[in-house]
Copies of this chain bind each other. A is one copy, B any other.
Amino acid sequence: MSKLTASIKDALVSAGVRDGMTLSFHHHLRNGDAVLVMTVTALRELGIRDITLSASALFQVHAPIIAAMEDGTITGIETGYAGGDMGAAISAGKLQRKAVFRSHGHRPADIEGGKIHIDIAVIAAPTSDPEGNCSGKYGRSACGSLGYAMPDAQFADRVIVVTDNLVDYPLVDFSIPETQVDYVVTVDSIGDPRGIVSSTTRITRDPVGLRIAKYAADSILHSGLLKDGFSFQTGAGGATLAAAMYLKEIMLKKEVHGSFCMGGITGYLVDMLESGCFESLMDVQCFDLTAVESLRKNPGHREVSATQYASPTAKSCIADRLDAVILGATEIDTDFNVNVHTDSRGVIMGGSGGHSDVAAGAKLTIIAAPLIRARLPLIVDRVNCISTPGSTVDLLVTQYGMAVNPLNRELEQRLRDAKLPVVDIRELQARAENLSGRPQPLIMGDRVVADVLYRDGSLLDQIRMKELL
């Protein structure tokens, strides 16, 4: 019995697709992914209705499925992130049911725990053999790690691998084993490489961004954590990459031999690995081609599952071993609660991803962001949506200075001793409001369009409807 199936539609039929099922997708192809839209197109052609999408993240490239939300093919979405028009569509109430946001660590926990039951997992695989041994490291659509797809493959009732690079059996360097795969479909293209690995921005040249980055790196230097065995995570934004650049200089100068970097991996972190700043990279997602190539070649660069990255119910996870992490925010409030779900209009533009996971796990959680963006202050009385609880945030760094969460008095003392510009968060808030004025309260609809769950399963916040004019 061959697993090779002529089309996604045939594979869905063979997998027993029917109304009301949950189908899952991973986001390693990011804004280049073609597989989710292909699959939803097939669902519509089959006349299937009332599907829940469990997608680790959704991007602008997925906007064509909004029509399937409007016609009742897709009535529920569970995700860690909804960017571009996908977020706006959820905010506009285009789903019949509330969307559910989980963090990247909470999602595999609920898959393993049975709270998310995946009927059919669809895995976009840059390379696969005919039995479904598959990898993201090879092929013209290479994306690197398949870490987010691993729990889906392990726990879904049926697993469909979709590839544009079918190779002879066995694919030796598989990331997901054949034992978990039911069907293999070959298509012309699973995605656009420009969208798959384009997300790394260059290190910022903006002096504001560089100052924030320098402050963030200096706060790590003086935190007491920067010693041999140090572990670190940062994102792919221009300022956080600049912080990594400054941190590299500090680590080389002070001859600090770090342990590991984690998370979405960029070429900048690869450079820190190769420079000897760190022993290893633990990689749940690659952000650029340098990271993909490093994962392929460097034994110190290891692919890990979303479970191992950050699941709160795993017997342990890497997030809990982190020393320092630098994260972003669209808003932060005076209790240090962070919003990364909604924009200044209250419209969904992202989601936690691993934000709340690593904030909870790291010894030092730094939020690095400019004090004013688009003429609006970063700091508010109460964030429009709590993505990450303030109790897990240690430090806010802006170009006008840094504010320490009063829960971490030791850190405040260390930073003050180092003569870093520590100020009260309310002072920073006042300064921002002096410069840009106090923002008008947002007017939101009554209808709840999304629940934001915390990684322990509790309801962290709810997002209400907001239709763009």
Contacts and interface: CB of A to CB of B under 8 A. Distances in A.
A181 B314 CA distance: 9
Interface stretch (A71-79, A117-125, A168-176, A405-413): A168-176
Contacts of A316: 3, 131-132, 178-179, 181
Given A179-B308, A259-B168, A305-B179, A315 B173 contact: no
A5 interface: no
A300 interface: yes
Nearest to A301: B172
B169 A321 contact: yes
Given A177-B304, A179-B305, A311-B179, A170 B318 contact: yes
A106 to B, nearest CB: 14
Nearest to A153: B315
Chain A binding surface SS class: loop
Nearest to A298: B172
A229 interface: yes
A409 to B, nearest CB: 24
B181 A299 contact: no
A95 interface: no
Interface in A291-312: 299-300, 302, 304-305, 307-308, 311
A454 to B, nearest CB: 20
Interface string A18-32: 000000000000000
Interface of A: 3, 131-132, 159, 168-170, 172-174, 177-182, 229, 259-260, 279-280, 282, 299-300, 302, 304-305, 307-308, 311, 314-318, 321
A448 B317 CA distance: 47
A174 to B, nearest CB: 8
11 contacts: A3-B315, A131-B316, A132-B315, A168-B229, A169-B259, A170-B260, A170-B280, A170-B302, A177-B307, A178-B308, A181-B315
Given A132-B315, A179-B307, A179-B317, 14 more contacts: A3-B316, A131-B316, A131-B321, A132-B316, A168-B229, A170-B259, A170-B318, A170-B321, A172-B299, A172-B300, A177-B307, A178-B314, A179-B305, A179-B314
Contact of A302 (B172, B178, B182): B172
A323 to B, nearest CB: 12
Contacts of A132: 315-316
A177 B229 contact: no
A311 B181 CA distance: 14
Nearest to A262: B170
A173 to B, nearest CB: 7
Contacts of A169: 259, 321
B315 A182 contact: yes
Contacts of A260: 170, 172
A3 B321 CA distance: 13
A305 B133 CA distance: 13
Nearest to A313: B179
A132 B316 CA distance: 9
A131 B132 CA distance: 30
Q: Could you say which of A169, A172, A302, A311 has the most chain B C-beta atoms within 10 Å of its C-beta?
A: A172
Contact of A315 (B159, B229, B259, B282): B159
B173 A299 contact: yes
A315 B315 CA distance: 27
A98 B264 CA distance: 52
Given A182-B315, A315-B132, A305 B168 contact: no
Most buried by B among A131, A177, A315, A317: A315
A177 B131 contact: no
A384 to B, nearest CB: 34
Contacts of A280: 170, 172
Contacts of A3: 315-316
B259 A180 contact: no
Most buried by B among A170, A182, A279, A302: A170
Nearest to A3: B316
Contacts of A182: 315
B179 A315 contact: yes
A177 B321 contact: no
A357 to B, nearest CB: 14
